[in-house]
Amino acid sequence: MTIPDDRKYTQTHEWARVEGNIVTMGITQYAADELTDITYAELPEVGSTVTAGQPCGEIESVKATSELLCAVSGRVVETNERLREHPEYVNQDAYGKGWMIRLEAVDIGPLDGLMDAAAYERHTAGG
Amino acid sequence: MVEFAGWSMPLMYRGIIEEHHHTRSQCSVFDVSHMGRLKITGEDALSFLQGLCTRNLEGMEPGVCRYTLMCRDDGGVLDDMIVSRYEQHWGIVCNASNREKIVAWLRQHAVDRRVTIEDQTVATAMIALQGPMAVERVLAMIPFDISGVRRYRFASGVYMMTSYTIFRAGYTGEDGYEIVVPAGLAKLLAFRVLGTGGEPDVAIRPAGLGARDTLRIEAGMPLYGHELDEATDPLSAGQSWCTDLRKDFVGAESLRRRAEAGLKQTLVGLQLEGRRTARQHFLVQAGGKCVGRITSGCLSPTLGASIAMAFVEADHAREGTELAVDFGGRPVPARVVKLPFYERPKAKET
C-alpha cells in the first residue's frame, strides 16, 4: 500500500494535508482497513472550531466505533458530504475521495511534529 | 483473526458486509469449532437435564434437538444451548465462552446421579453451512440421504469409520446445517465444502464471526454476554417461549416469582433514524429520561437501516413506541419494532 508523501500522519492514524492555511484531514488506509467496512462518519459542523489532539468526529464500522482526533486547531470550512451516502469511499480511497474535513488552521505549526510518510510506514509496520 | 474465548477466530475473510449478503443470497461456511460440544450419558440423563434446562425435554425422540437455557438458582442465565437426543445419549452445544462453566455446573449437579459428562469440544470440529442454497448443496455433497431431516432435527451415525452429526439448525436466520466430525477430519471437510483443489463452487464461500454477528442480530437471536447473562432472567430476555415454568428446574422457583411480580424490563427491537450504529451499553431514553440500554446493534446489511436490541422498562416496550438512543449526549430517534428484524422466505422449506 502506497502512503502519499504530500501529507503528515498522526500516531492515531489520521492524515493531514496543507494547502496554504487550509488543512484537509482524513484517516489512513491502514486505519480504514483495520476498521473494516465503514458505515458512518460523524463529522463536525461547518463553522465549528476544533482543537488539536481532541476528538472532532466518530468513525463507525461494522466492527467498532472510533474517534477521529484533530491534527490541528482551527475552524471547519467543509466536510465531505458524499460520505453520508457513501461511507465506503473511506475504505476504497482513504487518501482521496474518502477525505473527511477541511479546516482553516489557526496555526499549522503542530503539523511539524507529525510523521511523514516514511515514518508512518515504519509506525504501522510494527504492529 | 481475533481472540475469542481462548480461540483464535476469523473475524472476516473478504469483508463483513459482503459475507453477510452472500449468506442471505447463497451459502456461507462458518467454522464454529469453538462452540462447546458435550456428551451426557447414563440412565439418569433425561431427568438430570430436565432438572437443569428451562425447556421441557419430555417427549424428545432420538434425532430431535431443542434450544434451551440453563439458569442459576436466582434465575440468572448461565448459558443458552442446543440440547440433542441421540439413541444412547444426549448432546449439548453451548457457547465457547461458557463451556468450562457449564461443564463444571453439570458435574456439580451430576454427583450421585447415574450420568457421565464428557467434553468432546477439542476432539471434534464443527462447520456450519448457512443460506438459501445450503440445503441443496449439502444434500448433493453428503454420500447418504439426509433430505428427511427437518428443522431442529439431526442425523448422526458412522460413515466410513467416521462418526458424524448433522444438525439442521443454525445461527443466521437462514436454513442450513451444522456438521460435527472428528477434529482430525476438519480440514478435509472444509476443503470438500469449499471445493479446494478442485473446481470451487462459487456459491459456497467462507464467512467469519463478524458476519455471524450481524446475521444473528437481524434474526433477533440473543448472544450470550449481550442479551443474556447471569444478571438477566430468560423471561425479560424474551425467552419465555423456551422457559417452561410448569416443570421444575434450577431457577424455576425464582422465575415463577418474577413472572408473578411482573417484569420490570423487556428485550425489544429498535430501528434508529439515520445510519449510526448503536453499540452495547448505549443508553435508551424516553422524554430525556433513561429507560433502558442497548445490548447489540448494527447497520443491517439486509435492511439498510440501523437496528438494535435493547432492554427497556416494560412501559416503553410496546411496538411503535418512540424512544431515543444516546450517542454521547446526542439523542438519535428510535422506534420499537417487532423482533426478528429479518425472516427468511419460508415457502420452499420442508
Over the stretch B40-70, which tens digit does the pLDDT of each residue have? 999 999 999 999 999 999 999 999 999 999 9
Residue B21 touches partner A, C-beta closer than 8 Å: no
- From the list B11, B17, B277, the residue facing A60 with the nearest CB is B277
Q: Quick check: A62 contacting B, CB < 8 Å?
A: yes
- Asked whether the beta carbons of residue A63 and residue B11 sit closer than 8 angstroms, the reply is yes
Minimum CA–CA partner of A33 in chain B: B15
Residue B196 has pLDDT above 60, yes or no: yes
CA angle A17, A19, A20 (to 5 degrees): 135
Compute the nearest-CA separation of A38 from chain B (Å).
10
Subunit contact B277:A36, Cβ cutoff 8 A = no
CATH code for the domain defined by A8-105? 2.40.50.100
User: Which pLDDT belongs to residue A126?
Assistant: 65
Residue B337: strand, helix, or coil = strand
* Inter-residue contact B303 to B338 (CB < 8 Å): no
Instruction: Fill in the amino acid letter for B47.
Output: S
* B277·A40 Cβ contact <8 A: yes
Cα–Cα dist B16/A61, whole Å: 10
Q: Which domains does chain B have, with CATH numbers?
A: 2-215 (3.30.1360.120), 222-337 (2.40.30.110)
Nearest CA in chain B to A83: B275
| Digitized pLDDT (tens) for each residue of chain A, 127 residues in all | 689 999 999 999 999 999 999 999 999 999 999 999 999 999 999 999 999 999 999 999 999 999 999 999 999 999 999 999 999 999 999 999 999 999 999 988 889 999 999 999 999 986 5
The nearest CA of chain B is from the CA of A100 a distance in Å of 16
Name the residue type at position B315: D
Whose cell is 446493534? That residue is B297
For B17, which residue in chain A has the nearest alpha carbon?
A: A37
pLDDT at B350 over 90: no
**What nine digits make up the cell of B83?**
440440547
Q: Are the beta carbons of A63 and B298 separated by less than 8 Å?
A: no
Question: Hey, of A34, A39, A63, which one would you mutate to test binding to chain B, going by the most B CBs within 10 A of its CB?
Answer: A39
pTM: 0.93
Q: Does A39 touch chain B (CB under 8 A)?
A: yes
Using CB atoms, which residue from A60, A62, A65 is nearest to B17? A62
Region B282-297: mean pLDDT is: 98
Nearest-angstrom CA–CA distance, B188 and B194: 10
CB–CB contact A37 B16 (8 Å): yes
Q: Helix H segments across chain B?
A: 16-25, 45-50, 99-109, 134-141, 186-194, 209-218, 252-261
Cis previous bond, B340, omega within 30: yes
SS3 B25: helix
Res B252: pLDDT: 98
CB contact under 8 A, A36 and B12: yes
Q: Among B19-28, B128-137, B185-194, which stretch is predicted with the lowest mean pLDDT?
A: B185-194
B294, B300 Cβ separation under 8 angstroms: no
pLDDT of residue A109: 87
Residue to substitute from A34, A35, A36, A37, interface B, most B β-carbons within 10 A: A37
